[in-house]
Amino acid sequence: MTMETVQANPASGNPAAPKVEQRAGKYLTFQLGNEEFAIQVLCVREIMGVQEITAVPQTPCYVKGVINLRGKVIPVVDLRLKFGLPEMEYTQRTCIIVVQIQGQADKLMIGVIVDAVSEVLTLQGSEIEDTPDFGSGVATPYLLGMAKIKGKVKILLDIDRLLSSQEVSGLSF
Amino acid sequence: MAGDADKKTIGIGTPSANPLASDPELLNDFILEAREHLTTIELQLLTLDQDPAHAEAIHAVFRGFHTIKGMAGFLDLDAVRDVAHEVETILDLARNAQLTITSEVIDAILASKDYLSHWLSELEAMLQSGRQPEGQDNRALIALIRGVAPGPGTAPAPAAKLAVTEAPAKPEAAPVADASEGACEAADTEGVTGDVLKLALEVASNEKNEAPSPALSETPAADPLEAQKPSELPAAVARSIKVDTAKLDYLVDMVGEMVIAQSMVRHDPDLATGLKPRLGRNLSQLARITDEVQRTAMSMRMIPIGQLFQKTSRLVRDLSRKASKQVDLELSGEETELDRNIVEELADPLMHMVRNAVDHGIETAEERVARGKSPNAKVLLKAGHQAGHILIQISDDGRGLDCEKLLRKAREKGLIDPDATLTEAETFNLIFHPGFSTAEKITDVSGRGVGMDVVRKHVQKLRGRIEVHSTLGQGTTFLMKLPLTLAIIDGLVVAVGNQRYIVPIFAVREMLKPAEDAISTIRGREEMAMVRGALLPLIRLHQRFGVQPRFDNPWDSLLIVSENGGKQFCLMVDELIGKQEVVIKSLGETMRNIPGVAGGAILGDGRVGLILDLEGLFGTRLDASAA
């Protein structure tokens, strides 16, 4: 407990930093370029291969369009483009992770395109560190923290914040 | 007060005096709703029995009786209303802590509840067989209810106790009495008043009196009542049930998916080659069943438009009296059924238009006589089916729309250029402009020029179309063309580049491949196409949506002629793939307001196609050219 409180201190500048205890749990990790990211398993609905996506006009470039998820039409976001990484051809390993996030009114499903899905990890609270302060001007509101597993750093994403509908709709009229 | 109650105890009031009271539709709704309230009331009473100070339960029971009282008053069911009123009175006392809820009070309320449910059964029987309901004396019951209230107390305890001993007998007696609630009820009332009033007693009730159950009579009323419930509920459940509309929508959605999946299987290229007869037969059988399921699912949401028309008849009466005009309302096609959502959405525009017709359209009687018309004006409301659509017509034989006046007003307000020439249709469409009103003076009823604008918005929301026809001095007719349902639309599937879009068929006037010399440009940018002698603006869908098209020349492509607010325009697409019924899906809250896109639909191959919103497309073009 004491250790965790100490860890939480550097993040005091970030008012919305979630409690360390809440960050422990199961995470789905995936690759994007050379980096490994992780999102909480609880919000993952399903993982599927890339299928044909219907483009929707007048949406930001990272919104690739909509797909048919068993009769439901859901939007798909390319996380590479969202993070400003260069666009890449979709391969056999490219996946759409369907996540459920809290929208303005209802829960909504969004597909997220990632390079490849790796594994499901159980992270203890002690394994998670806060995002280092990059100084002013670098906004990290959707980073939950970092986890160092076997010498590799995994970036924990707050998918709700990342895809919050304000963020999506704000750019799509 | 007592005399007042006595007068109105028997019969369902005066049905002839109030047309609403004899409306089977309304009565049915009343029965359904009242039953629901009674179920809640019973539940809450049982809670009160356990915890007499439970404030929320008292409120819930009060609300239930209050609603029933209101509805009963509306339907001239005086006996019901009076009982509900009495119960409401004691509940009000309880609410204000002037009366403690004892088991006697609860018994009295429960007795009233039983009385009311008996009435409901009677009403239902009347609706089915047409026989007049048996009058059930409520004097005894009212006396009982008043008895439990403080003040002029009339020995409430013994009467109430009788009621308690009576209740347990019911479960046993009910089967014997052929579940006749009438008999139960009679017994109840009779028992309650302690044989003072020999009312319409039936044999069954006598049997019940002979079979009291002493063991149970010691327990509070809760147990026997619970036992009694099942015998009452099934009767109400069997005929119609209330279903969450969200569930129904989901069902209709899924059925839509099934129809699409079925057609996918049927048109599978693998099956088309060398189709065995047996498989073919089975497939057609499947198609027939799917069709039937779809029709049934859709019909569950359909309600007749008559209810809506009835509301307008009241409005016409009130308005014509207020404006001292003589107006006859003629209704036709009330039995036409359409989607419940549409009926709800239609209520406002219909009111607006009827109001307009009576207030503006129709002249005063003197004026009419001076013009050689009958002093009685006519307003016609007509509904009917036409080619998979619902057509609703609102006509009046009033003064009609004056083109000159409309144009003058429009020029005054700067809505059109002073030297613009408008066709008749375009001129009439001016009335849909926000803030446009030709009324010389603003009345409290209409004339502010918001009405028709709202009407058009509503109709557009329903994916319908509205037209105006008018002859000066002879009247005006509004025609609304609406889809049967909001869940499915008939669409044309068109291709642009590698994308496919769905154009709602109701928005399409015609389609054509233009000749090369039919295309002209203005200032080298704006394109126009000559269609049937009219120059129409040309919108390239690929430009608007940023898609790489297959053809760059309009004469290689297909033009879809559409109309928006009386103005026609052409939409350029690569080719027509086919016509398909599609289930409309929302794109979700993140993509709700994309101009030009009305939603998405799953196409035959499982991919998503965007449904175009032609109005939105045309609107953005105007904005773009203005900027």
Query: Which of B590, B592, B597, B605 has the highest number of chain A CBs within 10 A, making it the mutation to test binding with A?
Result: B590
Stretch A108-134: mean pLDDT, rounded? 87
Angle at B235 between CA B230 and CA B241, to 5 degrees: 100
Closest CA to B150 of B195, B110, B94, B192: B94
Calculate how close chain B gets to A97, using CA atoms only, in Å.
Answer: 17
Domain end call among B483, B503, B523? B483
Same domain, B8 and B101: yes
Domain end call among B415, B450, B483? B483
The C-alpha atoms of residue B255 and residue B487 are separated, in whole angstroms, by 11
The C-alpha atoms of residue B89 and residue A169 are separated, in whole angstroms, by 53
What's the pLDDT score for residue B4? 43
pLDDT tens figures, B284-307:
899 899 889 988 887 887 888 887
**A50 has pLDDT over 70:** yes
The C-alpha atoms of residue A77 and residue B348 are separated, in whole angstroms, by 40
pLDDT tens figures, B188-198:
444 443 333 33
What's the pLDDT score for residue B442? 45
Q: Cβ contact (<8 Å) for A55 and B608? A: no
Q: Is B595 near chain A, with CB under 8 Å?
A: yes
Confidence of residue B87 (pLDDT cuts 50, 70, 90): confident
Calculate how close chain A gets to B388, using CA atoms only, in Å.
Answer: 25
State the alpha helices, DSSP H only, in B193-244. Answer: 203-210, 214-217, 222-239
CATH of the domain at B290: 1.10.287
The C-alpha atoms of residue B209 and residue B166 are separated, in whole angstroms, by 7
Q: What is the DSSP letter of B431?
A: G
Q: Is B592 near chain A, with CB under 8 Å?
A: yes
Number of structural domains, chain B? 4
Taking a contact as any Cβ pair under 8 Å apart, which residues of chain B between 42 and 61 contact chain A?
A: none
Q: Cβ contact (<8 Å) for B587 and A75? A: yes
Confidence of residue B134 (pLDDT cuts 50, 70, 90): low
Q: Cβ contact (<8 Å) for A108 and B595? A: no
Query: In chain B, what residues touch A108 (CB-CB under 8 Å)?
Result: 588-590
Stretch B357-366: mean pLDDT, rounded? 82
**B351 has pLDDT over 80:** yes
Same domain, B260 and B233: no
Same domain, B314 and B171: no
Confidence of residue A166 (pLDDT cuts 50, 70, 90): low
CATH of the domain at B308: 3.30.565.10
What's the pLDDT score for residue B151? 54
Q: Dihedral (C-alpha) A43, A45, A47, A48: value to the nearest 10 degrees?
A: -140
Sheet containing strand A35-40, edge to edge, reads A116-123, A25-32, A35-40, A152-157, A143-149, A128-129
Same domain, B166 and B261: no
Angle at A12 between CA A9 and CA A18, to 5 degrees: 90
Q: Cβ contact (<8 Å) for B600 and A105? A: no
What's the pLDDT score for residue A6? 39
The C-alpha atoms of residue B214 and residue B230 are separated, in whole angstroms, by 22
What's the pLDDT score for residue B7? 40
Q: Which segment of A94-98, B42-46, B337-341 scores lowest on mean pLDDT?
A: B42-46
Q: Which residue has the higher pLDDT, A16 or B495?
A: B495
Does ipTM surpass 0.95 in this model? no
Query: In chain B, what residues touch A48 (CB-CB under 8 Å)?
Result: none
Q: Supply the range of the domain harboring residue B379.
A: 303-483
pLDDT tens figures, A11-41:
444 444 455 557 788 999 999 988 899 999 9
pLDDT tens figures, A51-78:
889 988 888 888 899 998 877 889 999 9
The C-alpha atoms of residue B581 and residue B590 are separated, in whole angstroms, by 25
Q: Cβ contact (<8 Å) for B609 and A54? A: yes
Query: Which of A51, A52, A53, A58 has the highest number of chain B CBs within 10 A, making it the mutation to test binding with B?
Result: A58
Closest CA to A54 of A26, A82, A73: A73
Query: In chain A, what residues touch B591 (CB-CB under 8 Å)?
Result: 56, 59, 63, 66, 75, 169, 172
The C-alpha atoms of residue B347 and residue B276 are separated, in whole angstroms, by 52
Q: Cβ contact (<8 Å) for A66 and B586? A: no
Proportion of chain B above pLDDT 90, given as a percent: 4
Which residue in chain B has the smallest CA separation from A165?
B590
Phi/psi for B578 (5° steps) reads 170, -175
Closest CA to B503 of B543, B566, B559: B559
Q: Is B602 near chain A, with CB under 8 Å?
A: yes
Query: In chain B, what residues touch A106 (CB-CB under 8 Å)?
Result: 589
The C-alpha atoms of residue B447 and residue B360 are separated, in whole angstroms, by 8
Mean pLDDT of chain B: 73
Please determine, looking at this structure, whether the domain spanning A2-171 carries the CATH number 3.30.2310.20. no
Q: What is the Cβ-side half-sphere exposure of residue B337, based on CA atoms within 13 angstroms?
A: 7
Q: Is A108 near chain B, with CB under 8 Å?
A: yes
Domain end call among B433, B452, B483? B483
Q: Which residue has the higher pLDDT, B67 or B24?
A: B67
**A7 has pLDDT over 50:** no
Longest distance between any two alpha carbons in chain B, whole Å: 100
What's the pLDDT score for residue B599? 86
Q: Cβ contact (<8 Å) for A106 and B597? A: no
What's the pLDDT score for residue A44? 93
pLDDT tens figures, B503-534:
988 778 899 988 888 888 877 778 888 888 88
pLDDT tens figures, B385-405:
876 678 899 998 888 888 888
Helix (H) or strand (E) holding B276: none
Q: Cβ contact (<8 Å) for A108 and B597? A: no
Q: Which segment of A55-59, B45-49, B436-440 scores lowest on mean pLDDT?
A: B436-440
| Tokens at B65, concatenated | 């009786």
Q: Which residue has the higher pLDDT, A153 or B54?
A: A153
Helix (H) or strand (E) holding B129: helix B103-129
What's the pLDDT score for residue B18? 57
Q: Cβ contact (<8 Å) for A169 and B591? A: yes
Q: Is A124 near chain B, with CB under 8 Å?
A: no
Stretch B430-440: mean pLDDT, rounded? 68
How far, rounded to the nearest angstrom, does the alpha carbon of residue A155 sit from its chain's CA centroid?
A: 9
State the alpha helices, DSSP H only, in A38-99. Answer: 79-82
Q: Cβ contact (<8 Å) for A58 and B594? A: yes
End-to-end CA distance of chain A: 45
Closest CA to B618 of B544, B526, B535: B544
Q: pTM of the predicted model, to two decimals?
A: 0.53
Q: Which residue has the higher pLDDT, B209 or B579?
A: B579
Confidence of residue B163 (pLDDT cuts 50, 70, 90): very low
